[in-house]
Amino acid sequence: MRFHVLTIFPHLLESPLQEGIIRRALQAGRIEVELTDIRDFATDKHAMTDDRPFGGGEGMVMKPEPLAAAIRQARLAHAQSHVVLLSPQGRQYTQAVAEEFSLLADLVLVCGRYEGVDERVRQHFVDEEISIGDYILTGGELAAMVIIDSVTRLLPGVLGCEGSVAQDTFSRGGIKYPQYTRPRDFEGYEVPEVLLSGDHTKIAEWRFAAGVSLTWEKRPDLLAAMTFSRKELQVLKKHGVLLEAKGKA
């Protein structure tokens, strides 16, 4: 998969791309990441990419000419490019969107700055807008890195343990079960006995019930979208997770 990031600060992304899973994915050829400086497409001698807003007001707005030219070049590199403008008014980014993006061959991420981009770019040069949350960043670069990271780990061959993706938080819409490692006893706090039993069926049931219970405790809003089989409901009842009492039959 190819990620193409359009930004006026490409150096912001260089260091994160050289660490951990992203670095290994790049070295293995699982992904390509191209960083393009939007300033290279500016038409004046000062390489200006922003200007004052028409009608007055605070701040600066990113000019349409450099952005449009950078997007056009990115599309030339891949006919099926999907162009995303990172914007607080965009579609909310979720695990489901990450999975959707992981099926693409080429993703172009446009990083806005200042008060935003010229509206004509949003209307005519991008395929969609994406927001990673209801808060404001100084630019789209960190949001682009979030998308690159979350999508890359979904690609085949990237993670050392392929099964971990299916067990991730939000993989079924809820929160993942609690995790424990050695030592068995830490300052008097012990690991749940079932995890030491060697009974994989009991361990799987405990983890499932614990994940649902945590979802109710920390993110009850997620339960509305979760569905359970009859067997799973029996497991939940067995472990004292009574969904009927929590608004879900």
pLDDT, one tens digit per residue, over 71-85 is 999 999 888 899 999
What does the mean pLDDT of the chain come to? 92
Beta-carbon contacts of residue 127 (< 8 Å; ≥ 6 apart): 82, 83, 84
Q: Catalytic one among 34, 99, 115, 232? A: 115
pLDDT of residue 147: 98
Confidence of residue 150 (pLDDT cuts 50, 70, 90): very high
Note if 72 is an active site residue.
Answer: no
Please, where in the chain does CATH 1.10.1270.20 lie?
Answer: 185-246
What integer is the mean pLDDT of 225-246? 85
Q: Catalytic one among 99, 149, 168, 232? A: 168
pLDDT of residue 173: 80
Q: Catalytic one among 53, 64, 88, 178? A: 88
Per-position b or e across 133-162, b if 16+ CB within 10 A of its CB: eeeeeebbbebbbbbbbbbbbbeeebbeee
Note if 88 is an active site residue.
Answer: yes
Q: For 30-72, what is each residue's pLDDT tens digit?
A: 999 999 999 999 988 899 999 999 999 989 999 999 999 999 9
For domain 185-246, give the fold. Answer: Trp Operon Repressor; Chain A (1.10.1270)
pLDDT of residue 161: 58
Question: Which residue type does 68 have?
Answer: A
CA within 13 Å, CB half, 111: 27
Please, where in the chain does CATH 3.40.1280.10 lie?
Answer: 2-152
pTM across the whole model = 0.86
How would DSSP label each residue in 197-240?
S--HHHHHHHHHHHHHHHHHHH-GGGGGG----HHHHHHHHHTT
Answer whether residue 224 shows pLDDT above 60.
yes
Note if 64 is an active site residue.
Answer: no
Q: For 121-147, what is each residue's pLDDT tens digit?
A: 999 999 999 999 999 999 999 999 999
- Which CA distances in Å does 91 have to 148, 169, 247? 17, 20, 28
Note if 220 is an active site residue.
Answer: no
pLDDT of residue 80: 87
Beta-carbon contacts of residue 206 (< 8 Å; ≥ 6 apart): 177, 192, 194, 195, 239
Q: Catalytic one among 122, 153, 172, 207? A: 153
Query: The CATH number of 2-152 is which of 3.40.50.1970, 3.40.1280.10, 3.40.190.10, 1.10.760.10?
Result: 3.40.1280.10
